[in-house]
Amino acid sequence: MISIQTVLLAALDGLSYGAQVFMVAVGLSLIFGVLRIVNVAHGSFYAIGAYVAASFGLFIAAAGWSPWLTYPAMALSACLVGIVVGGTLEVALLRRIYGKEQVLQLLVTFAVFMILEDMQKAVWGVRPYFIDAPLGLLGTVNILGINYSIYQLVVVPLFAVVMLVSLRYVLRHTRLGRIVTAVTDDREAAAAMGVDATRVYLLTFMIGASIAAFGGALASGATSLVPGMGAGMTILSFAVAATAGLGRIEGAAVAALMIGLGRSLAVYMAPEFDVLVPYLIMFLVLLFKPQGLFSVQQTRKV
């Protein structure tokens, strides 16, 4: 039943979805790693990023400009959402609740999530949006007799890989990355050494939000945008981040791929389990590694 061809096709199918999930989960993970805050409103960045990118896309189409401009517009909208929405949220709200009880953090970010959901409806209405330029521009490629869209098969995963590699590089090999790592390890010690921890928090949050928004912008190229789309992604990205171990970037990539691949294989072999797969994977991983796949031993701070 399970042939090499099935596995190959399933892998190709799972790639685009896994890549999108990765973008959202890695942002969530990064924010948790540095700020130690579980941001329930994270899925909203994904949704707002998608809506802003779609609005740009529709504007570009209406103005009669080259449809290729939708790609830079996606990056632009991701940065915009991360800096404006993410930045405002961090400065106005999250700053006040670092180090508070986790229940409080969950409640506050959940409230933010609800507010942002309603804000999306107020701005974009409830009508599903989609832009067909990105998907249509690149056409299809035929593999094993199956047509794949180049956008979903190559572009979206490629961006995800670029994101993963640059994040790794920045965190491991740049001054900024070392500062972020230092703040993550010990905020007080880093501050004593002259690091402006408040700024690092803000920057990290904006970057994390931008990555999620970019995931949404990429999704807007192939998915209809509807109210409530952020909620589904929030839940899934939590599953990925938990499977990977909160704060683990490479782990998020592996876990997102596992979920993408698992879902595809399920559609081939047991369509009934399609919805269950991400949580089944999470369950199995956490059963054997309660801290997640890529967790490291942590010394408890008093």
Partner 1 sequence: MFKRPFDALCALMLLMSSALAADKPKELVVGITTFLSGPASVFGVPGKNAADLLIADLNAKGGILGVPLRPIFIDEGAGINQLMSEYRRVVLNEKADVMLASISSASCLALTPIAEDLKVPNILWDCSTPRIFEDNDYKYSVRTQAHSGAEMLAAALYLIRNKPHFKTIAGVNQDYAAGRDQWGLFLVALKALKPDVEVVAELFPKFGAPDYSTEITRLQALRPDVIVNTSWGGDLDTFVQQAAARGVMTQSTFVFPLGESSLERLGNAMPPGVIIGGRGDHYFLHPKYAQQPAFRAFVTRYREKTNAYPIYPVLHMAQAFAALEDAYEKAAQTNNVPWPSSEQLMAAFRGLKFRGLTSEVTIREDNQGLEDQLIGTTIRVPEYDFAILDRISIYPAKLVTTPVGERSADWLSKIKPEIASDPSIETFTAGK
- Near partner 1 by CB under 8 A: residue from 88, 228, 284, 289: 228
- Near partner 1 by CB under 8 A: residue from 101, 103, 175, 272: 272
Work out whether 101 is an interface residue with partner 1 (CB under 8 A): no
Nearer Cβ to partner 1 (194/271) = 271
Q: How far apart are CB 128 and partner 1 at their closest, in Å?
A: 4
Residue list 15-54, contact with partner 1 (CB under 8 A): 15-17, 20
Work out whether 232 is an interface residue with partner 1 (CB under 8 A): yes
Q: How far apart are CB 292 and partner 1 at their closest, in Å?
A: 23
What stretch of H or E contains 135? helix 133-138
Q: How far apart are CB 12 and partner 1 at their closest, in Å?
A: 8
Contacts of 302 (CB under 8 A, 6+ apart): none
Neighbouring CB atoms inside 10 A of 104's CB total 11
What stretch of H or E contains 119? helix 102-124
Token pair listed for 161: 């890989």
Place of tokens 């409230």: 111
Question: How far apart, in whole angstroms, are the C-alpha atoms of residue 268 and residue 251?
Answer: 26
Total chain residues near partner 1 (CB under 8 A) = 47
Distance, first Cα to last Cα, the chain: 54
- Near partner 1 by CB under 8 A: residue from 4, 62, 103, 126: 126
Token pair listed for 131: 């832009």
Residue 143's SS3 state is strand
Work out whether 55 is an interface residue with partner 1 (CB under 8 A): no
**CB-based contact 157:19 (threshold 8 Å):** yes
- Near partner 1 by CB under 8 A: residue from 95, 130, 181, 195: 130
Residues at the contact surface with partner 1, assessed by CB under 8 A: 9-10, 12-17, 20, 117-118, 121, 125-128, 130, 132, 135-136, 140, 145-149, 151-152, 219, 222-229, 232-233, 263-264, 267-268, 271-272, 274-275
